[in-house]
Structure 1
Amino acid sequence: MAKRPKRHAQHEEHMDESWLIPYADLLTLLLALFIVLFASSEMDAKKFDQMVRSFNVALNGGVGVLDQPSPIPLDPNMMQQTIHKGAQERPKTEEEKKLEEAIRKETEDLKKLQTQLEGYIQQNKLQDKLQTKLTEEGLLITILDNALFDSGSAVLKPEARKLASEMAAMLVPHPKKVTVTGHTDNVPIHRAEFPSNWDLSAKRSVNFLKVLLENKKLDPTKFSATGMGEYHPVAPNTTAEGRAKNRRVEVAILRDLASPPKNSVNP
């Protein structure tokens, strides 16, 4: 019987894949680089320091830049100061300059109106009944209810009508949105005309608004009135003094432009 020829073992030829190891290492390092760059762009030194520590743990197979201790500890305050300094050195666009100038002018106008109102308050010795405050939203005028109404009433006193007329005249050169908001304390009211504090606060704000708009030089479309009842107190309702502060009417002359930074607004 003839012998079968021996078959030689067939070996498939394989490509040399040893290049995948340095290639994978290179991709890992590139990923680490981009993540570190992204973390740096976030301008947060604390997050950056945490990111560095994380990569030191993940990539501890060799000694590299990330494994070396920083010769100077990262100071978040110093880093933030450097960032702000760089931002200030960036030249502003024309739009930014125009917006800043418009905001500055609007703030000056509101300050002038505040000065006028403060003069009226001092002249009429109303310091204990009227207050003004310049905020990020605009100029807020707070009037305690005893300067405007009798207890439980929404009818303006004669001197309150005079105050509203004077205020309206001051608002004419400042054609801005104006909100009138009525507030009460938490003592329940039970009257046929005012079943609740909601009704009383709303009626008081509307009545004050009507006297303002008796000045025909004002644009009614820019005015609105709201009743908040007892639900936005500025003082505890547990004392007579606190309840007196909560019974008030707030007149807000609102800004037309974006609010300036907090440190540029005088309270």
Structure 2
Amino acid sequence: MKRKPKYLEAEHGQRERWLISYTDIVTLLLILFVAMAAQSVGKPPAQPVRREPQQAPKPSRATLVRAEQRLKERGLDPRLDPRGLVISLPTAILFESGDDHINPSALPVISRIAEVLRDSGNKVELAGHADAVPIHNRRFKNNWELSAARGLSLLALLTSQYGIPEARLSVSSFGAYSPKGSNDTEDGRAENRRVEILILDEPAL
């Protein structure tokens, strides 16, 4: 039998060793991929982490809190509610009975309020309220008209004497239909006769 030359035997052995090494690498990679696939089976997809943005306090609400403090320092009794900051003034302070002309004696109180209104920059609603006792005189047919006229008188004063822009102000009339107290007693009726100045939780445009 004819033997292969030694250099051919050496070359053949090197080729076999290379084939064995390549086969081992392919086998290891296949095992690795199978293991990774097995780990991912049945595992729910990762959910992205959601972070809710933190809401800063509304600037207009912060303005109301400062206004409340300033009014209290001036001897008034405002109250915060969902609409804004309410200052309730008995009509006995502002007007004569059945009239819509503002008493000069009420000007110091109005001045203290007007300063805060002017600085706040928010919209302001002037709401007239009355008791349930019917009124009918030469100027007003009913409590609706009287309440509206009193709100308009206060609006005119705030714009003309204290420089508050008309665009920030509005007037509403509730007549006897938004009472605070009982209309069956004099104290309750006196509580119902009022003008409410509402600094709204809404900056003026």
Using structure 2 for the length normalisation, give the TM-score: 0.69
- 1:226 has 2:165 as partner: no
Q: Whose Rg is larger?
A: 2
1:90–1:140 distance in 2 versus 1, CA, 3 Å: farther
For residue 108 of structure 1, the aligned residue among 55, 62, 83 is 62
Cα distance in structure 1, aligned partners of 2:192 and 2:162: 31
> Which structure has more RCO (C-alpha within 8 Å, separation ≥ 6)?
2
Residue 238 of structure 1 aligns to a residue whose secondary structure is coil
Identity %: 33
Aligned to 1:149: 95
Answering whether residue 131 of structure 2 is matched by residue 171 of structure 1, we say no
One-letter code of the match for 2:61? T
Aligned mate of 1:92, from 52, 62, 75: 52
Supply the distance in 2 between the matched residues of 1:249 and 1:202 (Cα, whole angstroms). 10
Name the SS for the 2:196 alignment partner. strand
Match of 1:160 among 96, 102, 106: 106
Shift of 1:111: 1.4
| Separation in structure 2 between the aligned mates of residue 90 and residue 245 of structure 1, nearest angstrom | 52
Q: Is the 8 A contact 1:140 1:251 kept in 2?
A: yes
Tell me the alpha carbon deviations over residues 6-64 of structure 1, each in whole angstroms, 9 at most, x when there is no partner.
Answer: xxxxxxxxxxxxxxxxxxxxxxxxxxxxxxxxxxxxxxxxxxxxxxxxxxxxxxxxxxx
Q: Deviation per CA, 1:73-123, whole angstroms, max 9, x where unpaired? A: xxxxxxxxxxxxxxxx95223xxx3xx3241x43332111111111212xx
Instruction: Compute the RMSD of aligned alpha carbons.
Output: 1.9
Equivalenced residues, count: 155
Q: Is the 8 A contact 2:60 2:122 kept in 1?
A: no
Task: Tell me how far apart the structure 1 counterparts of residues 112 and 156 of structure 2 sit (CA, whole Å).
Answer: 14
The more displaced of 238-247 and 206-215 is 206-215
Distance 1:157 1:143 in 2: 13
Give the aligned partner of residue 42 of structure 2. none
The residue identity in structure 2 corresponding to 1:101 is: A
Counterpart CA distance in 2 for 1:92 and 1:217 is 43
Secondary structure in structure 2 of the residue aligned to 1:101: coil
1:242 aligns with 2:188: yes
SS in 2 for 1:255: strand
Query: Contact (CA 8 Å) 2:71, 2:77: kept in 1 or not?
Result: no
Using the alignment, how far apart are the partners of 2:77 and 2:98 within structure 1?
Answer: 22
Structure 2 counterpart of 1:157, one-letter code: N
2:56 maps to amino acid: E
2:114–2:162 CA contact under 8 A, matched in 1: no
- Quote the residue 2:19 is aligned against: none
Q: In 2, distance between residues paired with 1:244 and 1:189? A: 15
Q: Which residue of 2 aligns with 1:134?
A: 80
Once residues 244 and 90 of structure 1 are traced to their aligned partners in structure 2, the CA distance between those partners, rounded to angstroms, is 55
Q: 2:148 aligns with which of 193, 202, 206?
A: 202
Structure 1 length-normalised TM: 0.54
Corresponding residue number in structure 2 for 1:118: 72
Structure 2 residue identity aligned to 1:171: L
Alpha-carbon distance between aligned partners in 2 of 1:189 and 1:163, rounded to the nearest angstrom: 27
Unpaired runs of 5+ in structure 2?
1-48
Task: Answer whether contact 1:169 1:215 (CA < 8 A) is retained.
Answer: no
Aligned-pair distance for 1:144? 0.8
